[in-house]
Amino acid sequence: MVVVMSPGATDEEIAHVVARVESVGGEAFVSKGVERAIIGLVGDIESFHHLNLRALPGVADVHRISDPYKLVSLQHHPQRSTVWVGPEGAQVPIGPDTFTFIAGPCAVETAEQTLSAARMAQSAGATLLRGGAYKPRTSPYAFQGLGEEGLEILASVRRATGLPIVTEVVDARDVEVVARHADMLQIGTRNMANFGLLQAVGESGKPVLLKRGMTATIEEWLMAAEYIAQRGNLDIVLCERGIRTFEPATRNTLDISAVPVVQATSHLPIIVDPSHAGGRKDLVVPLTRAAIGVGADGVIVDVHPNPEEALCDGPQALLGNELRELAQVVRRLPPAVGRAAATVRS
């Protein structure tokens, strides 16, 4: 069961609902989005009915949710959500009315490389900068990222370009330091089911980009989002980045059907990662076209000033003509499906 608070409900009204639920032995988990708060209830449903929660000040509605993911379900939130990323006065939307282009280097290697990639991304129309300071890799001998030094480079590039930063966090112990530097925290595919990390980013106060696990079902993915939401954070964006199948022709198999399936089930925005799905730069543009056509809320793409020298995922990074072609696609196609380019809200 969930209690949907009215827009503008006060902290006192929310606390009153929580107190009433706890008075009958229930638990209440408050999740705050940009527009309203939602309270997920755990306990005896019949005892909650006797509380007459709909009559309490600040309560808009009360729903009994059949989905196992209560807070991110579309059942109680008929309008799909928009998540705003960036500092007050320079926020970029990710949601149903816009198409958001996120781009940057897969890994932060040097200050010069990161700034060059950021300027490439910005010139192509990107409004958010992606870049990895922490890089969980299959091999322990592969480049693992620069850590806090990489975060400081990203912060300096944000000052130079004005682009809000999306970067990955891989350990719950690092959430605080990453949140100090980043505008959006990314949970990578290998950590989708790292429940302690999900809870930690849920408490960080920053928007979260949650990538689908490489072998996860859609329900498991949404349940991972529920872990974040239950800790008070509804500013979650899902990212379909390809799943592992028997097919070796591509790095992963892009499950393009995941976009409409999620949109029929959850109010959360969903974007697509064509770079990690295909693993080849020649597939990025066609997979981006597919993402736009199926109704994705954005894409996240790798760019690099010298892909052949990249320390991470060089074969999928765009440069030159490929990036210019992608820029035309993300400028021309979204209006055909009723989307505007995401721009900064001042």
Reply yes or no on whether the pLDDT at 37 is more than 60: yes
Tell me what the mean pLDDT of segment 4-20 comes to. 90
The percent of residues in the chain predicted with pLDDT above 70, rounded, is 99
Q: Which CATH architecture has domain 83-341?
A: Alpha-Beta Barrel (3.20)
With both helix axes pointing from N to C terminus, report the angle between 148-161 and 111-123 in degrees, rounded to the nearest 10: 40
Helix (H, G, I), strand (E, B) or coil at 345: strand
Question: Which of 298, 300, 297 shows the shortest CA–CA distance to 102?
Answer: 300
Give residue 141's pLDDT. Answer: 64
Average pLDDT over all residues of the chain = 92
Tell me what the mean pLDDT of segment 64-93 comes to. 88
Reply yes or no on whether the pLDDT at 101 is more than 90: yes
CA diameter of the chain: 65
Give pTM, 2 decimals.
0.89
Tell me what the mean pLDDT of segment 275-297 comes to. 97
Tokens of 243: 């799943």
Q: 297: which residues sit within 8 A by CB, 6+ positions away?
A: 94, 95, 96, 98, 99, 100, 237, 269, 270, 271
Helix (H, G, I), strand (E, B) or coil at 185: strand
Helix (H) or strand (E) holding 198: helix 195-202
Summarize pLDDT for 213-249 with one digit per residue, the tens. 999 999 999 999 999 999 989 999 999 999 999 999 9
Could you tell me the residue ranges of all domains in the chain? Answer: 2-64, 83-341
Q: 272 φ, ψ to 5°?
A: -125, 145
CATH topology of domain 2-64: Alpha-Beta Plaits (3.30.70)
Summarize pLDDT for 306-319 with one digit per residue, the tens. 999 888 888 999 99
Cβ atoms of 69 and 266 within 8 Å: the answer is yes
Tell me what the mean pLDDT of segment 27-54 comes to. 82
